[in-house]
Amino acid sequence: MRTPLIAGNWKMYKRISEATALARSLVSGLQGVDGREVAVCPPFTALYAVGEALRGSSVQLGAQNLYPEAEGAYTGEISPAMLVDVGCVYVILGHSERRQHLNESDEFINRKVHLALTHGLRPILCVGETLVERERGEEIKVVSTQLRADLRDIDEEQMAKVVIAYEPVWAIGTGHTATPQQAQTMHRNIREMLVHMYGEEVAESIRILYGGSVRSDNIDQLMAQPDIDGALVGGASLEVESFARIVKYHPIL
């Protein structure tokens, strides 16, 4: 049985005081919620403060990125050991915004995945196609290529610690969400890709999240799909009420 994961990606929002207040409100508002895992990924500047605010709660701390070296002369970058040091459990890797704006390649992302796992972090690996790629009917080919490259030389034991997040690029921050059926179709395809790569037992154990304009008014339909195991939430994770409602989803079958 896969435990659903709802992760909030706060992106480049929230100063330390704001992030801490949000974290404390979430801890209070999510008391008593069980049967699902919750994580929040604030900006680097707020990681330590948010970690302190989450201490003793069931909400996990995550980061939005790391640099694929243990240490060194990499000005402005953050190592996996530094993330572990502030209490991170998860780290988002391969997000489309970094692929697009910072030209991150699959080879570079693969190095990040390896080093994250080496340091005990759980990667949330993002994959997804652009609108042009979907209109050309290339979405399965694109996602398959990303998965195989990003997970190159990751073995079955390591894979058990990886979370996949399907984020259609055309739905991120646009207000356009893949329909539950579109999302389920891709999630099923991703699971079948993982069967070919790692075998059925491993593939069935991997959590696959949906991301892309997830809101309180569409989470119930999304979570009713058999291969959607949670959500990577952007803008809606920045407000207590909307994120708490997403965490407290009620699947509509």
The answer to whether residue 252 sits within a structural domain is: no
Q: Name the DSSP class of 65.
A: -
The 10s digit of each residue's pLDDT in 160-188 is: 999 999 999 887 767 677 899 999 999 99
The answer to whether residue 177 sits within a structural domain is: yes
Q: Model pTM? A: 0.96
The answer to whether residue 178 sits within a structural domain is: yes
Catalytic residue numbers read: 95, 167
Beta strands 163-166; 5-9: pairing state? unpaired
Q: How many domains does the chain have?
A: 1
The 10s digit of each residue's pLDDT in 94-136 is: 999 999 999 999 999 999 999 999 999 999 999 999 988 998 9
The answer to whether residue 157 sits within a structural domain is: yes
Please name which of 146, 227, 123, 244 lies closest in space to residue 184, comparing C-alpha atoms: 227
- From first CA to last CA, the distance across the chain in angstroms is 18
| CATH, residue 127 | 3.20.20.70
The answer to whether residue 191 sits within a structural domain is: yes
The answer to whether residue 253 sits within a structural domain is: no
Domain that holds residue 122: 5-247
Separation of alpha carbons 37 and 27, rounded Å:
13
The answer to whether residue 211 sits within a structural domain is: yes
**Do 229 and 207 contact (CB within 8 A), yes or no?**
yes
Confidence band for 31, pLDDT divided at 50, 70 and 90: very high
The answer to whether residue 186 sits within a structural domain is: yes
State whether residue 53 is helix, strand or coil.
helix
